[in-house]
Structure 1
Amino acid sequence: MTNLYEHSGGDEALHRLEELFYAKVLADPVLRAVFPERQPHHVEHLTWFTAESFGGPDRFTRELGFEYVISAHRHLKITDEQRERFVALYLEAVDEAGLPADEPFRAAVRSHLEFGSEVAQRNSHAETDDQLHPLREVPRWQW
């Protein structure tokens, strides 16, 4: 069986997904506090992270490292509403980007989003390193 990266369509499809998703969060009033303005490399970094977590190239780890993602979420104080909206908008973008619609793929994407958004939310409230989620590397998501 192919991995999620190959099944999704690889870098081109994931970049299309992240571009659509990022436009959604920037325009969303619920997520405005978390995504206040467009960052020049955010789509590229999101693409790298998703590609790596789906079994593709390890560019995110090599170029940025997982500490980067921890720092990005630190002190954002992500609410349940923001986390849920993030997941909903991402799933909308998956549809709009034309990624595979088969249930095994969609279930894997949903579980990846739920897990990742929970890690980000926890890290966003951590006052000390001890309060951070123990994850310290890009997770390799499977079917």
Structure 2
Amino acid sequence: MSPEHSRHVAHFLVEVLKGPKLYSEQYGEDALSHMVGKHIGKHLTELQRKRWADLLLASADEIGMPADPEFRSTFVGHIEWGSRVALINSQLGENPVNQNHHIPAWGWGEVKGPYEIVGSLFEHKPDEE
């Protein structure tokens, strides 16, 4: 991973958790394509995904992120969801993102799964507009 990876991940997480759009501000209209593209062809394994998620959660503890159940369930849910989507995307040879796709925005207590066709994971849903 690049030395900037941790900052990019932090900016992406801030944005999907409905904070400032730091990732989109940096990459513009192609922000989602840029993020997904970083995983294409990497052929990540489940062991690597799990280790990355475990380290990210340990880092959250180390820096004193909130431990309340509402925050942690949302944070852990997104780490699991996002890392599993990255695993799926890492097996692809081409970037599936198109102009209908957007960076997801998570609310508190929402669960969104990666069990759709990869290209539709980030499409606007009728209730989001």
Q: Please report the TM-score for the alignment, with normalisation by the length of structure 1.
A: 0.65
Pair 1:94 & 2:60 matched: yes
Name the counterpart of 1:142.
107
- Give 4+ residue runs of structure 1 displaced > 6 Å after superposition: none
Name the counterpart of 2:89.
123
Percent same amino acid among aligned pairs?
31
How far apart, CA to CA, are the structure 1 residues paired with 2:25 and 2:65? Answer: 26
> Considering only aligned residues, what root-mean-square deviation do their CA atoms show, in Å?
1.9
1:84 to 38, 50, 68: 50
Query: Where in structure 2 are the equivalents of 1:61-76 lying within 5 Å?
Result: 61-64=24-27, 65-76=31-42
Greater relative contact order structure (CA < 8 Å, 6+ sep):
1
Question: Structure 2 unaligned runs (5+)?
Answer: 109-129
How far apart, CA to CA, are the structure 2 residues paired with 1:128 and 1:60? Answer: 22
Name the counterpart of 1:106.
72
Q: Please report the TM-score for the alignment, with normalisation by the length of structure 2.
A: 0.72
Question: Structure 1 unaligned runs (5+)?
Answer: 1-34
How far apart, CA to CA, are the structure 1 residues paired with 2:101 and 2:85? Answer: 11
Q: Which amino acid aligns with 1:85?
A: R
